[in-house]
Amino acid sequence: MPTGVHRRKPERFLLPKVPLVRVVGRILGVDVEECENPDEIDHVWIRIHAGADLIVSINTSSKKNRLAGFDPRIRVGLNRGTCAKLPLQGVEICPSNDYADIEARANVYFEHYERGSLEDLLKDRCTRACLLEAWGAPYQRIQQGVHQIHSRRASCAVPEDIRGRDGALKFYYESGQATELFLFKFCGQP
């Protein structure tokens, strides 16, 4: 490199170290966890671009509940709606997201899903949606992402009761400006 020329290293995109974020991004793809032992498979990873490439990690069953002798299935609540315009892509700190508030405003019915059925449902929505909004806790492993995409209330296998930090997914569809908000609960969560 010639003298006097300095290359600036590109700044690394870092999610804030806070309990809850809201990310909005274009869906790049979706992957189902793979493992030789099917009992170890319990995630779907949605890749999005929200200013940077991020992973949104969704539980498709509960290993903790299964190992403790409880129902490992995930209960999914779906709330359909419409939007006049798509939200801006990006990441922001979210002060609170509480299923109790959402359920007070809308009649949300929760249905049990086996792991394979939930994987298929999420893959289908990812192929049809033009944008994903997700609430959850930031994490850093091989790539940055958001996890804890579920109710954080106490469950059958997890006694810790966290309020106001519930994770969720919202899919946006171009046809008819339709939206689908997905809420996820484990066995024993109110």
36-57 per-position pLDDT tens digit: 998 889 999 999 999 999 999 9
Residue 14 predicted with pLDDT over 60? yes
Output the pLDDT for position 3. Answer: 39
Output the pLDDT for position 141. Answer: 83
Output the pLDDT for position 62. Answer: 96
Tokens 């339709």: give the residue.
Answer: 178
**Three-class DSSP labels, the chain:** CCCCCCCCCCCCCCCCCCCCEEEEEEEEEEEECCCCCHHHCCEEEEEEECCCEEEEEEECCCHHHHHCCCCCCEEEEEEEEECCCCCCCEEEECCCECHHHHHHHCCCCEEEECHHHHHHHHHHHHHHCCEEEEEEEEEECCCEEEECCCCCCCCCCCCCCCCCECCEEEEECCHHHEEEEEEEECCCCC
Residue 173 predicted with pLDDT over 50? yes
Written as six digits, the tokens of 132 are: 């994903």
Q: Residue 48: name the closest of 109, 117, 129, 103 by CA.
A: 129
Give the pLDDT confidence of 61-73 residue by residue, as tens digits.
999 999 999 999 9
Distance CA 126, CA 132 (A): 8
**Residue with more model confidence, 66 or 3:** 66
Q: For the residues 166-178, what does the mean pLDDT come to?
A: 92
Confidence of residue 8 (pLDDT cuts 50, 70, 90): very low
Q: What is the mean pLDDT of the chain?
A: 91
